[in-house]
Amino acid sequence: MSIIIAILVFGVIIAIHEAGHFFAAKACGVKVNEFALGWGPAIYKFKKGETTYALRILPLGGYCSMEGEDDDSSDSRALGNKPVWQRMIIMAAGVVMNLILGFILLICMVTSDDAITSTTIHSFESDNAVSHSTGLEAGDKIVKINGMRIFSAMDISYQLQNDSDGIFEMVVERGGEKVTLPKVQLGRTDNMIHIDFIVVGERITFVSTIKETAAQFCTYSRLIWISLADLVRGKYGINDLSGPVGIVDVIGDVVESQRDEVTHKIDWGALLTQILNIAAFITINLGIFNLLPIPSLDGSRMVFLIIEAIRRKKIPAEKEGMIHLIGLGLLIILMIVITVKDVIHLF
């Protein structure tokens, strides 16, 4: 079941990304030679008009192959013969579609709950709660924790659980004004910060749903950037990365967590919410990752287009294509290493 769910999740996310490139290319009059989901030998393919549509054996990616994408072409409808601004739109369209999909999935998540978990304090565990003793009051809206802007309740949990010394400084909104509270050291239980306050559950309306979705979208996006920065700084290594096999393993754990120990029946509603959460994180992750200026990614192609726009001179397609080919090869090697690590971890 976890493999089937993973294939469906990857398939939808990849299809949406490549569809962004495809429809933008068609709108700009670019010839699309092939639209493929997956890599390797084709399981099924057909040709409609000028484009071949293919489903390939390895569900780990996909591509939208456009005329003149990585080489020179005399075809007037080749990508390289279109204005820079049109090529920028085509390159950015995949990322935009991933981010839109992430927003839609988050809307589904928010509306699947009975209420919205806000960042406003409702009450405390007890009268002598540590957070209450430092000035935090019912009705306060948490704005910052240790300097980090709080968008959603997930930010509160993240900041409290990932702090090294357990000392926190909060900024709250109280009566329309921002108030900085004295620093407090929260207690720990089993090496986890003990949160001694309860937040307000808000009613789900159209406005509150959009606001909460936007807040969670900001939370997910920032968390991805923080993780990438931590990876560059060396806080995380290769053993902390996961590929498709690792994600299948995570989905398997999620499925089992929603299975009743006695009846062995699965709570499909709760499982769907968890899968939406994973899918939203992956598609936003894919969108942001593709913005990075790494050869073969959309972000790198955007950099080349920006350079061309500044220089008012094209970079030779063969040279750019070779750079992207090398980058793709390195990414494939990284994916193989991560996949082998994930397989070993299973055993």
Over residues 282-323, the pLDDT tens digits come to: 999 999 999 999 888 999 999 999 999 998 888 887 888 889
Statement: residue 189 has pLDDT above 80: no
Q: What is the radius of gyration, based on Cα positions, of the chain?
A: 24
For residue 307, give both structure tokens: 């350079």
Per-residue pLDDT band at 135 (split at 50, 70, 90): confident
Q: What is the largest CA-CA distance in the chain?
A: 77
What's the pLDDT score for residue 173?
94
First to last CA, the chain: 19
Q: Which amino acid is at 119?
A: T
- Residue 106 in tokens: 């988050």
12 closest CA partner among 104, 113, 110: 104
The conformation of residue 40, written as its DSSP 8-state character, comes to: E
Both tokens assigned to 309: 């726009």
Query: Could you tell me the pLDDT band of residue 246, with boundaries at 50, 70 and 90?
Result: confident
Instruction: Tell whether the torsion through CA atoms of 273, 279, 280 and 285 is positive or negative.
Output: positive
- Length of the chain, in residues: 347
User: In this model, does residue 45 exceed pLDDT 80?
Assistant: yes
Q: What is the pLDDT averaged over residues 39-45? A: 89
71 vs 279, more confident: 279
For the chain, helix (H) and strand (E) counts, in that order, are 9, 12
What's the whole-number average pLDDT of the chain?
87
Instruction: Determine the distance from the C-alpha atom of residue 156 to the mean position of all C-alpha atoms in its chain, rounded to a whole number.
Output: 19
pLDDT, residue 204, reads: 94
Asked if pLDDT for residue 72 goes beyond 70, the answer is yes
pLDDT of residue 221: 94
> Concatenated DSSP letters for 194-252?
---EEEEEEP--HHHHHHHHHHHHHHHHHHHHHHHHHHHHTSS-GGG---HHHHHHHHH
The encoded tokens of residue 208 equal 């509150």
Within 8 A by CB and 6+ apart from 256, the residues are none
Most confident of 13-27, 155-169, 171-185: 13-27
Residue 88's closest CA among 21, 18, 14, 32? 21
At 90, list the tokens: 């085509």
Residue numbers annotated as active site: 18
Q: Which of 293, 322, 300, 317 is nearest to 79 (CA)?
A: 317
Distance CA 30, CA 22 (A): 9
| Beta strands 177-180; 170-174: pairing state | antiparallel
Does the pLDDT of residue 205 top 80, yes or no? yes
Lowest mean pLDDT among 40-44, 75-79, 118-122, 192-196: 192-196
The amino acid that residue 286 corresponds to is: L
In the CATH hierarchy, which fold is given to the domain comprising 115-203? Pdz3 Domain (2.30.42)
Mean pLDDT to the nearest integer, 13-18: 93
Domain segments of the chain as ranges: 1-114+205-347, 115-203
Tokens of 250: 């995570």
Q: How far apart are CA 14 and CA 92, in angstroms?
A: 15
